[in-house]
Amino acid sequence: MSSPTTAKRVSMLTLGCARNEVDSEELAGRLTAGGWRLVDDGEDADVIVVNTCGFVESAKKDSVDTLLAAADSGAKVVAVGCMAERYGTELAESLPEAQAVLGFDQYANLADRLDDVVAGRKVESHVPVDRRTLLPITPVQRQEKAQDVEVPGHGWGPRVLRTRLEDRPVAPLKIASGCDRRCAFCAIPSFRGAFVSRHPDEIVAEAEWLAAQGVREVFLVSENSTSYAKDLPAELGGLENLLERLAKVVDRVRVSYLQPAETKPSLVKAIATTPNVARYFDMSFQHSSEKVLRRMRRFGSTDSFLALVQQIRTLAPEAGIRSNVIVGFPGETEEDVAELERFLTGARLDAVGVFGYSDEDGTEAEGLDGKLDADTIAERVARISNLVEELIAQRAEDRVGDEVVVLVEHEEDDESDCVGRAAHQAPEVDGECVITNPEGLSVGDLVRCRVDAAEGVDLVVTALEVLPR
């Protein structure tokens, strides 16, 4: 442990989505400003801060396992993040190994709370509330009130309160927090709160800072990017205007978390045609049966979704389109699964995550009738997964002979290849490109490549030209 003459040492562990990654880097910035020194190895830390995920049951289990493993290191352990915000005192009571369980309201004072933990002072555990109740129902009334509510990643002003925890050439950039949708299966709005956009000047300033750190690609994250700017003055412009500004700052801008029912033709055109914006559409379809979507409190149908896919591919045939789908939702029939298969076969998406339905605490779907047994859900997950695997492999095969621009992200251990991503591939979820002639290439290079082969969703490519920075 540290003595009064040595710096206090803290290690950050992050679970969950890219939004949590941004939050962890904000917390790292706050901690370094508060006199704490970041260390990579938990064995060398006085305190390990675990940024938990509370989205689904498997993520909660991973968070608890990580907290317990951190406690085994001998360091003091502090839980933050979505699971800590969602369960607070309940988590603290069931997990005495953690010295503190803190919600978002303590983020601004985290350095002080860690001082308390190290000094052995008692830190009160977070008491959960429905964060949707903290802001006005009407979006245009939220910005002023949001100054009084702790919303991670917001309200920094012109300064950037962030410390990078990795030196990758790609970084998430938060454009909004919270969600106003009421999807029957999702608990996120209750602990992330109502939707709040960040001011575009603040976002652009952070992108400039990231570019100065060597970042070549930023991917914009939120709970619902298509809602961006609905709570801002009209003169500030919407997501389309933000993309145009960011594209002048970094080499590649990627948008994530788009809602199909809210995706306007003007946004499709902006993503498909703006230079330096990746032709990439992360569409939250979730299903395509109109009946199932209505039970999910969502909108759309197979035909409307196929029309949206056609709209995208008319403007940008090479565009990448990915999505997630949930199978086994309460009331789903064989006809509904067949309708989902019709959509997936017609859409020929580049990447699809397939998830089996499970109850989530406090959601509407938890109380729905028509629940399917675990074996039926598992069978449907396997069925749709097999179809998806075949379809995305075909889509990748269709790219053989094309040219793609690859961002080099790392070298293989034997340095025989280097690995990166094309514009249609998002970090960690959509496959990668293996460059077979890596001589002279460096991490962070953008390289024009020829696609020589496909291996499942991954591409094997030959470097043709390094593009200027």
Summarize pLDDT for 203-229 with one digit per residue, the tens. 999 999 999 999 999 999 999 999 999
Q: What pLDDT score does 461 carry?
A: 97
Q: What pLDDT score does 144 carry?
A: 80
Q: What pLDDT score does 414 carry?
A: 64
Q: What pLDDT score does 1 carry?
A: 43
Contacts of 407 (CB under 8 A, 6+ apart): 169, 170, 216, 217, 252, 420, 421, 444, 445, 446, 447
pLDDT bracket for residue 40 (50, 70, 90): confident
pLDDT digits (tens, 9 = 90+) for 233-289: 999 999 999 999 999 999 999 999 999 999 999 999 999 999 999 999 999 999 999
Q: What pLDDT score does 156 carry?
A: 59
Mean pLDDT of the chain: 93
Look-up: residue for tokens 């801008």? 253
pLDDT digits (tens, 9 = 90+) for 398-430: 999 999 999 999 887 666 789 999 999 999 888
pTM, two decimals, is 0.92
pLDDT at 28 over 60: yes
Q: What pLDDT score does 334 carry?
A: 98
CA distance 429 to 18: 11
Q: Residues comprising the binding site for [4Fe-4S] cluster?
A: 17, 53, 82, 179, 183, 186
CA distance 195 to 418: 39
Beta strand 280-282 pairing with 320-327: parallel
Mean pLDDT, residues 22-27 taken together: 94
pLDDT at 60 over 90: no
Q: What pLDDT score does 379 carry?
A: 98
Q: What pLDDT score does 114 carry?
A: 96
Question: Residue 13: beta bridge partners?
Answer: 50
Minimal CA–CA distance to 15: which of 83, 91, 85, 90?
83
Domains, the chain, in order of start with CATH, read: 9-127 (3.40.50.12160), 134-398 (3.80.30.20), 402-466 (2.40.50.140)
Q: Residues comprising the binding site?
A: 17, 53, 82, 179, 183, 186
Mean pLDDT, residues 81-108 taken together: 93
pLDDT at 302 over 50: yes
pLDDT at 332 over 60: yes
